[in-house]
Copies of this chain bind each other. A is one copy, B any other.
Amino acid sequence: MEKLIIIGAVAAGSKAAAKAKRLNPNLDITIYTEDTNIAYSACGMPYYIGGEFEDYHRLIEYSTKNFEQDFNLKIFTRHRVTKIIPEKNTIQITKLEDNSVFEEKYDKLLIATGASAKKIHAKGSELPQVVTLRHLSDCLRIKQFTKTTKRAVIIGGGSTGLEMFEAFWRLGIDTKMVDWKTHLTTKLDEDIGTFLKELVETHYPNSIILNDSAKSFVSDAMGRLTAVELISGKVLPCDLALISIGVKPNVKIAKEAGIEIGSSGAIKVNEKMRTNIPNIYAAGDCVEKKGFVTNRVIWHPQGSTANKEGRTAAMNIAGIESSFKGVLESAITKFFDIKIGATGINCKLAKELGYEPEFVIIKSKDRAGYMQDAKDITIKLIADRKSGRIIGGQGIGLGDIDKRINIIANAISAQNTPEELSNSDLPYAPPFSMAIDTVLVAAYELDKKLKK
C-alpha cells in the first residue's frame, strides 16, 4: 500500500488528504500537524473573536476524530516534523507532549506547513499580552484576553488588522491601529488607500496612526502590558497588542532537506505542485505561486488558493494529471459596512515592474439610485498602455464591491482590454446595478483615455 504523509492540515493539507483518499481509497495517509486542530477556517477567526458566532467549533470543518473515521486515515496533532530526509524517504517527528522523537517512512510526501505570523522584535515583545493571530490556539487565547481587555493596539493595517479592529470595536474595546505606510493595506494604491483611511476616520475618529510602528511594549511591575510606545514617541496605553504585520512561509524543514526555495522565499513548485525532489509535493501558504497578470513569481498566501493547490496536489499524487495555473492576487475585506477589494496589480507596482499604467477612478452607486439600498462605491480600473490590457482594479465603498472586483478579476483572466470589458453583457436589474454597471463605465472611460 502506498503511503502518503502530509505535514500540516489547515487548508491545503486537509483538502489534499480528503481528495487523495477519495481518488485512491487504497492510499495509506498519515497527517502530522503542530496545531491542536485540523481543517479549520483561519480566515473566520476574527469573526469568532468579534462575536459573529458563539461556538468556535463552527470554525472547524472537521474534528480530528471524524476526519480520521470518514477518510480512514491517521492524524497526529501536536506533532512537529523537524526533519525531512529525502535520501531515506523518511521524516523525523517530535511529539510535543513529551518531546519524544521518532521517524516515519513515506512513499509520497506533501508539505503543507503554511505560514507564520511575522513578529516584532522589540523590548517587551515577549509579553503574553503581545499577540499574533495565526493558529486556532492564538484565536482562543485572544478571545480569552478580550473578556478583560479595555484598550487594544493593532500594529499593521492590512486585511487581518482591519478585521480585528472591527472585532475589538464590536466587543467595546477602545482600539487604535498603527501602520508604517502612508495608507492602509498594501494592495491599494495611495489614492484608494487614503480614501479608506478617511472613511475609517469618519466613523472611528483618531483611531488610525500612519507612518509609525511599535518601538517597545511597556509593562507594569506585574509584567502586564500597559502601553505600546511608537517610533514617533507617541505612547498608546493598552492592555492588549496585536501584531498583524503579515506572515512568512514556513520553509525551514524544506530548505534544510534541499528542497528548492524560490525567489519569493517560499517553496518552489511546478504547476503539479511538485518540488525539485521526487515524490515530495508542497501546497498552500508555504509555496510560491505564479502571478497571472505579470507572469512573475510571487508569494500570495490565501485560504482559497491553498484549497485549490491542495486539490491539485492530491490529484497528481493519485495519478490524475492536474495543474494549478496561478493567482490574480485578488483580495476582499469587509470592515464594518465598508468593503475593500483589489485584484491584479496596483499602479505603484505596475510602474516598478515596467508597465505603463493608465487608470480611471469612478464614484457611483452599486444599484439604481432610486433603490433604498443603493450605496456608494468607488472603483479604480487600471490598464497597461503597452499591451492595452486590464492589469488591475481596486474598489472601496459601502456598496457591493465584491461583485465588481470579481468582474475585474475575470476580465484580467480573460486578458480583456477596457473596450472588451465595456461591452460585457452583465445581467441588470435595478436592485443589482446601474443600467450600465460602474465597472463597465470605468472600462469605457479607461478605453477613451488609452485611445487619446
- Where the two chains meet, the residues of A that have a C-beta atom closer than 8 Å to any C-beta of B are 11, 41, 43-44, 47-48, 52-53, 58-59, 159, 163, 292, 302-305, 307-308, 311, 324-334, 341-343, 368-372, 400, 402-403, 405-407, 409-411, 413-414, 416, 422-432, 435-437, 444
Contact = CB atoms under 8 A, between A and B. Distances in A.
Given A368-B44, A370-B44, A427 B405 contact: yes
Contacts of A305: 425
B432 A410 contact: no
Contacts of A423: 308, 324-325
B410 A334 contact: no
A41 B370 contact: yes
Copies in the complex: 2
A307 B435 contact: yes
A124 to B, nearest CB: 32
Contact of A435 (B43, B52, B413): B43
B43 A427 contact: no
18 contacts: A43-B368, A43-B428, A43-B429, A47-B370, A302-B428, A304-B435, A327-B425, A330-B428, A332-B427, A334-B431, A342-B427, A402-B403, A406-B407, A406-B410, A406-B426, A409-B427, A410-B410, A413-B425
Contacts of A48: 370
A53 B370 CA distance: 7
A427 B402 contact: yes
Given A410-B410, A411-B410, A436 B308 contact: yes
Given A44-B368, A330-B427, A406-B427, 16 more contacts: A43-B429, A44-B371, A47-B371, A47-B431, A52-B371, A292-B425, A305-B425, A307-B435, A307-B436, A308-B436, A333-B429, A342-B427, A409-B424, A410-B414, A413-B424, A413-B425
A198 B77 CA distance: 46
B58 A369 contact: yes
Contacts of A416: 414
Contact of A403 (B41, B325, B333, B403): B403
Contact of A330 (B330, B402, B425): B425
A303 B435 contact: yes
A40 to B, nearest CB: 11
Nearest to A429: B332
A416 to B, nearest CB: 8
A307 B424 CA distance: 12
A305 B440 CA distance: 12
A303 to B, nearest CB: 5
A1 B308 CA distance: 61
A424 B328 CA distance: 8
B47 A430 contact: yes
A226 to B, nearest CB: 33
A52 B372 CA distance: 7
Nearest to A57: B370
